[in-house]
Amino acid sequence: MSSTIGVQNIAHTNGTNAMTVASDGVATFPNKPVGASPIDIIANSTTAVSGASNIEIPLSTDTNYIMQQIVLFDVLASSNQDMLLHLRTTGGSFRTSSNEYEWVVMERKNGVDANGTGSNGDDKIRLNWYSIGTTSDEKCIFTLNFFHAGSTNRTTVGWNGIGTASDGHPVVREGSAKVLVDESNDRIRLTINGANISSGGYVHYGYRRTL
């Protein structure tokens, strides 16, 4: 035996609406359901940044996230320089001293052999080899993945960059890094070495271990 319950709205006893069912059967949720997906949108910024000294983005310290991913789009520099990353000790200061990071980056640009560099003890993480673009037709996208950011394990970072380099040629960048301190990290800071940074915005995702 089957039965049908016909409703237009499902609400809390205080009157707060949780779901609306349209006449075509499509359900609309005014708030994101909790536990429905293993991937959370932690933040979504469509506010453009133009010619800033840096871009800072908070990280979650929720240890249920096995990975946090930040997609930063339409990135440009005010001059042909490198893009740098620093992480902040939770509730403290950004790590900017020597021997606090190890990193490696590889890059391939159309018409140029693959190249790269790295460090076993640095005061920053370098995200590229060939310079970040400076004009509207040289924008690039960086996808940054953070592991263990909320735990006292050493935060590990992996990234890729796609788009166009400073000479207008297509480019792909890949890199990996680690904070050389046993701590959690609650914020990142992106800068251009000796120049300013611009971006169209970012989306910050959290990949949960469990629902």
Above 90 in pLDDT, residue 17? no
**Between these two residues, 32 and 103, which has the higher pLDDT value?**
103
What residues does 141 pair with on adjacent strands? Answer: 162
Compute the average pLDDT of residues 29-35: 70
Compute the average pLDDT of residues 166-195: 96
Above 70 in pLDDT, residue 34? no
CATH code for residues 38-208: 2.60.120
Residue 2 has a pLDDT of: 67
Backbone angles phi, psi at 154, to 5 degrees: -70, 120
* Domain ranges within the chain, ordered by starting residue: 38-208
Please state whether 193 falls in left (phi above 0), alpha (psi between -120 and 50) or beta. Answer: beta
Residue 1 has a pLDDT of: 59
Confidence of residue 150 (pLDDT cuts 50, 70, 90): very high
